[in-house]
Amino acid sequence: MAINFKKKKTVQPVEGNETGTMNIETQGLSQGQIIRKKFFAHKPAVIGLIFMIVFAIFVYSASGIHLGTDTAKFTIKGWWKYSHEDLLPPGLCAAGCPTADHPFGQIPNGRDYFALVMRGSEISLMVMVVIGFLGGLIGTVMGAVSGFFGGIVDAVMMRFTDFIITVPSILIGAVIGYNVGNLGVFALAVFLGLFAWTGLARLVRGEFLSLREREFVDAARVAGASNRRIIFKHILPNSVGVIIVSTTLLLSGSILLETGLSFLGFGVQAPDVSLGSLINEYQGEFGLSPWLFWWPGVLIVLIALSINFMGDGLRDAFDPRQKRQIKRKDFMAKTSTRDAVNKR
């Protein structure tokens, strides 16, 4: 009696295919582990993340922490020996050349420029975070409500959003900065954040319009789930990728907006400083003392690039359609091992 052993058919992974390479890379991993793996595989994003962490720690440890108002200040002094408010004797160089005691040089009135740049970085980072937080929060709420309920609610909210979009952001920022700039940096950041949500709102709305028609939402409705539960337990977790990526890119746009406003004189007002106001104040010194212009300019570019790199990495990490290929030799080695096991 002949026994016919039929070879079990197996699906061979195809390099670059969603069911091949991606399954090899992510087999046995949770969703959070998959996102972390994809993000840390994006080298520019990792470099940007490391730079932002190191830069923030360096800035706030050097300049210290300054909270409160002029009448009720709360200050934790940093490790740098000079403050951005200290008036020092001019150095040996009439143009305020960098020295061992003043590595970034001095401005004409004797202030240490390193302390000013650190203080400006502190302010710019704070403004960026406040604008990003408020813009992300308002944009998520507006987009979620508009996309989920639709109808007249969607029409009214999106027409209001379109109206805000049609007004140039730099014009809105200039009006806000001119009227509230003297109230303080935090007030300026809050008012700017109230108008920075429009792009995120449209993205979240589109995501909610797509997800509300999915089968798992219909199943939740049949099970008797309330609108609140459907939004927060079913749709919002599936939209978190779009929200996080868009908010990250909003941070990059926020620091550039603050820089532009301060450069035009509508942002952070004296005696406080930001990176943009430093560029504006010392642009005339470019020929005589170029370091007064270059230091804040280089930091602005590095911050914006780092955040954009992080946004790209997060986009790839949260997008299941991204097809990241592993190295050819690793793929062939894993495929050969699987073929050997299947032949046994």
Judged by average pLDDT, the poorest of 86-95, 242-251, 288-297 is 86-95
pLDDT digits (tens, 9 = 90+) for 314-331: 888 887 555 444 344 444
Give the rounded percent of residues in the chain with a pLDDT score beyond 70.
81
Q: Using CA atoms, how far apart are residues 178 and 266, in angstroms rounded to an integer?
A: 5
Residue 327: predicted pLDDT? 41
Given pLDDT bands bounded at 50, 70 and 90, which one contains residue 95?
Answer: low
Cα of 39 vs its chain's centroid, Å: 14
Q: Using CA atoms, how far apart are residues 235 and 60, in angstroms rounded to an integer?
A: 38
Residue 203: predicted pLDDT? 92
Q: What b-and-e string marks burial along 135-149, b requiring 16 or more CB atoms within 10 Å of the CB?
A: bbebbbebbbbbbbe
Per the CB < 8 A criterion, the answer to whether 276 and 268 are in contact is: yes
Residue 234 has pLDDT above 80, yes or no: yes
Q: Is residue 330 included in any domain, yes or no?
A: no
Given pLDDT bands bounded at 50, 70 and 90, which one contains residue 72?
Answer: low
Q: Is residue 81 included in any domain, yes or no?
A: no
Torsion sign across C-alpha atoms 96, 97, 102, 104 = positive
Residue 343 has pLDDT above 60, yes or no: no
Residue 156: predicted pLDDT? 94
Q: Which two tokens stand for residue 318?
A: 């949260």
Residue 69: predicted pLDDT? 59
Q: Is residue 105 included in any domain, yes or no?
A: no
Q: What is the residue-averaged pLDDT of the chain?
A: 80
Q: Using CA atoms, how far apart are residues 85 and 280, in angstroms rounded to an integer?
A: 18
Q: Is residue 251 included in any domain, yes or no?
A: yes
| Range with top average pLDDT, 40-54, 160-174, 208-222, 322-336 | 40-54
Given pLDDT bands bounded at 50, 70 and 90, which one contains residue 344?
Answer: low
Q: Is residue 226 included in any domain, yes or no?
A: yes
More confident of the two residues 125 and 271: 125
Neighbours of 11 (CB within 10 A): 8
Q: Is residue 138 included in any domain, yes or no?
A: yes
Judged by average pLDDT, the poorest of 22-26, 93-97, 130-134, 180-184 is 22-26
Residue 342 has pLDDT above 90, yes or no: no
Neighbours of 237 (CB within 10 A): 11
Q: Using CA atoms, how far apart are residues 268 and 280, in angstroms rounded to an integer?
A: 11
pLDDT digits (tens, 9 = 90+) for 1-32: 455 544 444 444 444 444 444 455 566 677 77
Q: What is the dihedral of CA 304, 267, 176, 129, to 10 degrees?
A: 40
Q: Is residue 75 included in any domain, yes or no?
A: no
The structural domain count of the chain equals 1
Cα of 18 vs its chain's centroid, Å: 28
Per the CB < 8 A criterion, the answer to whether 208 and 236 are in contact is: no
**Residue 159, domain CATH:** 1.10.3720.10
Q: Is residue 334 included in any domain, yes or no?
A: no
* Kind plus residue range of the DSSP H or E element containing 67: strand 65-68
> Vertex 39, ends 199 and 195: CA angle to 5°?
15
Query: What are the distances in angstroms from CA 273 to CA 30, 133, 171?
Result: 45, 22, 21
Residue 19: predicted pLDDT? 43
Expressed as residue numbers, the domain containing 252 is 114-301
For tokens 């406080």, the residue is: 272
Residue 73, classed as helix, strand or coil, is: strand
Per the CB < 8 A criterion, the answer to whether 84 and 271 are in contact is: no
Residue 270: predicted pLDDT? 75
